[in-house]
């Protein structure tokens, strides 16, 4: 079975071709066109700009993914790349920026109609976790931690092939990636904040500044990062705070460790309560090497029986391989696969639930 995955939920235009044979995943191509340099000029994502770039990039990226997967382009002019070996088209339905999502959804609908192939609507958040299934046999139930620019969530995955997910906790305000981005803005470090802060944190002292660990003591699985960001803001506004290179590094390390402490603590609490067989990490912040390291160490020490799955770096940020993988599970279990009549009714849903 070959699946064409399309992801346009935010500022990445991504297309992948995934072939699955006898349960073995073979990722034939995985193209990501990022707009990050364009949005960096504005210090964050500008939705209108993102939508326009999605529009410009979607066809070239589809073509690049098909050619990369070995589908030979026609020699003359602008004739399309043959796509008769594609069995399904999977697309991100939501959540995300609606103006970006519609580009992927409408393109996928058109392809599905022209090629007469079933269309699979995929939840972006579920896909961030399911990307861990590429050549890994995951045992369920599993606890999943989604850490991205828009979401911070603990999910109980009872049986994903039947679409069973339960949100057991989530952020009450900012997402953790958003907090990294906002703290970077406060410190004038650039956008996106996550990669910059984690790099500076390497040369910083994580114990230098005392920052809060919001909600860490609460007996639930929820998060809050907005107060932590404000604590950083107040600290930098204090007359005693000198903006030296070392202080910035120390502040980055202290802020990063405060985020990690909360994420690790709530994850351990969830594992203790739900006794899963596996733990899955997903989302852009999963690229953070300290978070990866400390989650692994702490889970291994306290719950050695739990298998830990952390995505390769190329699968942490938004990509379409994860959409194709999630699409595969839906296609094989025949859940939410749209054929013929109803596929043209599919609508992008910026607030799509799990």
Among the candidate windows 17-25, 30-38, 112-120, 143-151, which touches ligand KG4 by CB under 6 A? 143-151
Per rule CB under 5 A, is residue 318 in the interface with Zn ion?
A: yes
- Which among 27-35, 39-47, 172-180, 324-332 is the span making contact with ligand KG4, rule CB under 6 A? 172-180
DSSP-assigned beta bridge partners for residue 18: 3, 27
Give yes or no for residue 92 binding Zn ion (CB under 5 A).
no
281 binds ligand KG4 (CB under 6 A): no
316 forms part of the interface with Zn ion (CB under 5 A): no
- CA nearest 8: which of 354, 353, 350, 351? 350
Q: Please, what is the minimum distance in Å from the beta carbon of residue 297 to Zn ion?
A: 25
The closest of 19, 50, 13, 15 to 33, measured between CA atoms, is: 13
Nearer to ligand KG4, 2 or 224 (CB): 224
Q: Judged by CB under 5 A, which stretch of 115-123, 142-150, 203-211, 299-307 contacts Zn ion?
A: 142-150
Q: Does residue number 66 form part of the binding site for ligand KG4 (CB under 6 A)?
A: no
Nearer to ligand KG4, 292 or 343 (CB): 292
Closer Cβ to ligand KG4, 108 or 127, answer by number: 127
Calpha distance 343→324 (Å, rounded): 17
Please list, in sequence order, all residues whose beta carbon lies within 8 angstroms of the beta carbon of residue 23, skipping any fewer than 6 positions away: none
Encoded one letter per residue, x for contact with ligand KG4 by CB under 6 A and - for no contact, window 150-169 reads: x-------------------
Which lies closer to Zn ion via its Cβ, residue 109 or residue 128? 128
Asked if 7 interacts with Zn ion (CB under 5 A), we say no
CA 104 distance to own-chain centroid: 16
193 interacts with ligand KG4 by CB under 6 A: yes
Q: What angle in degrees, to the nearest 10, is found between the helix axes of 176-186 and 245-274? A: 170
Q: Which does 194 bind (CB under 5 to 8 A by kind): ligand KG4, Zn ion, none?
A: ligand KG4
SS (H, E, C) 282-313: ECHHHHCHHHHHHHHHHHHHHCCCCEEECCCH
Closest to ligand KG4 by CB, 45 vs 66, is 45
Instruction: Report whether 191 contacts 181 (CB < 8 A).
Output: yes
Distance CA 113, CA 217 (A): 52
Angle between helices 245-274 and 289-302 (to 10 degrees): 40
Q: Which is nearer to ligand KG4, 253 or 285 (CB)?
A: 285
Tokens of 126: 């579920």
Q: With binding defined as CB under 6 A, does residue 214 bind ligand KG4?
A: no
Taking the C-alpha atoms of residue 112 and residue 242, their distance in angstroms, rounded to an integer, is 58
Task: Tell me: does residue 174 bind ligand KG4 (CB under 6 A).
Answer: no
Q: Helix H segments across the chain? A: 36-40, 47-68, 98-115, 124-130, 176-186, 193-201, 226-237, 245-274, 289-302, 321-333, 340-343
Q: Which is nearer to Zn ion, 148 or 249 (CB)?
A: 148
Q: Are 138 and 159 in contact (CB under 8 A)?
A: no
**Which listed option, ligand KG4, Zn ion, none, makes contact with residue 174 (CB within 5 to 8 Å by class)?**
none
Question: What residues line the site for Zn ion (CB under 5 A)?
Answer: 148, 318
Question: What residues line the site for ligand KG4 (CB under 6 A)?
Answer: 10, 148-150, 177-178, 180-181, 192-195, 198, 283-285, 287-288, 317-318
């Amino acid at each position: 079975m070959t699946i064409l995955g399309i992801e346009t939920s935010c500022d990445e235009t991504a297309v992948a071709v995934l072939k699955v044979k006898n349960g073995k995943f073979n990722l034939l191509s995985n193209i990501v066109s990022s707009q990050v340099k364009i949005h960096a000029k504005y210090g964050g994502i500008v939705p209108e700009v993102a939508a326009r770039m999605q529009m410009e990039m979607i066809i070239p990226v589809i073509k690049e993914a098909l050619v990369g997967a070995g589908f030979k382009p026609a020699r003359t002019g602008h004739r399309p790349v043959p796509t008769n070996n594609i069995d399904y088209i999977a697309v991100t339905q939501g959540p995300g920026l609606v103006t970006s999502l519609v580009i992927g959804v409408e393109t996928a609908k058109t392809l599905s109609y022209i090629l007469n192939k079933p269309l699979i609507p995929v939840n972006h958040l579920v896909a961030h976790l399911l990307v861990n299934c590429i050549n890994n046999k995951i045992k369920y139930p599993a606890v999943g931690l989604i850490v991205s620019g828009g979401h911070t969530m603990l999910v109980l995955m009872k049986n994903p092939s039947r679409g069973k997910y339960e949100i057991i906790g989530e952020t009450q305000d900012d997402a953790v990636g958003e907090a990294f981005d906002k703290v970077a803005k406060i410190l004038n470090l650039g956008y996106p904040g996550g990669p910059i802060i984690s790099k500076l944190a390497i040369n910083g002292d994580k114990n230098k500044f005392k920052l809060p660990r919001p909600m860490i003591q609460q007996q639930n699985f929820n998060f809050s990062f907005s107060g932590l960001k404000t604590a950083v803001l107040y600290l930098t506004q204090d007359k005693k705070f000198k903006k030296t290179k070392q202080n910035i590094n120390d502040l980055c390390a202290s802020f990063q460790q405060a985020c990690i402490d909360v994420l690790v603590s709530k994850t351990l609490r969830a594992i203790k309560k739900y006794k899963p067989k596996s733990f899955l990490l997903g989302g852009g912040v999963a690229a953070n090497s300290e978070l990866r390291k400390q989650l692994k160490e702490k889970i291994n020490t306290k719950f050695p029986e739990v298998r830990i799955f952390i995505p390769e770096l190329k699968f942490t940020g938004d990509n379409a391989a994860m959409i194709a993988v999630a699409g595969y599970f839906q296609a094989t279990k025949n859940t939410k696969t749209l054929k013929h009549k109803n596929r043209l009714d599919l609508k992008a849903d910026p607030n799509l639930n799990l």
